[in-house]
Copies of this chain bind each other. A is one copy, B any other.
């Protein structure tokens, strides 16, 4: 995982905040949180999983807090990138874009149980750690407003007027958060297929003539 193509010594990359060890530690942090919970995640365990010494992990990230923060940032960026790719794809019409968003939100890369466990762990601490909040909240506002704009386009094309774009987009985003949480409890019942189906049915009910919401 994350092997750089050419063998480069780590220190050459240090200032860029990237190296094999840097990423190995972040991956190990995510795995550890997913397996044991944020509260039971220790530097020792993370270091062991990343196969570096405990001291090194601390040295590399300056503090445990910073390691956790970097891991959250990594997940946040991963999601952001997948979102942006959809919004920058000019081959998609509004409905096609909505469908891609849904597929992405319940893809196995994004909505797997490990990553959700990490998200929820951080979410639960957001109220107490301004640094977590600043990573998540700003992005969340962007997603909200971009989604609303997108739905506005869909609404116009599909001649729907009872629900406002804001209502539809807020409902969608809440549903996704709720379903993610439920995947944690009962991943069998809340399978990707089930979740995608549920959300698409929501849209199908609004845009009855649109055949693509399966």
Write the residues of chain A forming the contact surface with B, with a CB cutoff of 8 angstroms: 35-40, 113, 117, 120-121, 123-129, 133, 136-137, 140, 162-163, 167, 170-171, 173-179, 181-182, 184-186, 198, 201-202, 205-206
Contact = CB atoms under 8 A, between A and B. Distances in A.
Given A120-B120, A133-B185, A167 B126 contact: no
B181 A177 contact: yes
Contacts of A171: 175, 198, 202
A202 B129 CA distance: 34
A205 to B, nearest CB: 6
Nearest to A164: B201
Nearest to A202: B171
Contacts of A173: 178, 182
A136 to B, nearest CB: 7
A69 to B, nearest CB: 14
A151 B75 CA distance: 37
A70 to B, nearest CB: 18
B185 A140 contact: yes
A162 B202 CA distance: 10
A97 to B, nearest CB: 21
B123 A124 contact: yes
A91 to B, nearest CB: 30
Given A39-B38, A205-B163, A185 B126 contact: yes
Nearest to A117: B127
B198 A167 contact: yes
Contacts of A36: 128
A206 B163 CA distance: 11
A126 B163 CA distance: 36
A51 B65 CA distance: 31
Nearest to A177: B178
Contacts of A35: 128
Contacts of A181: 123, 177-178, 181
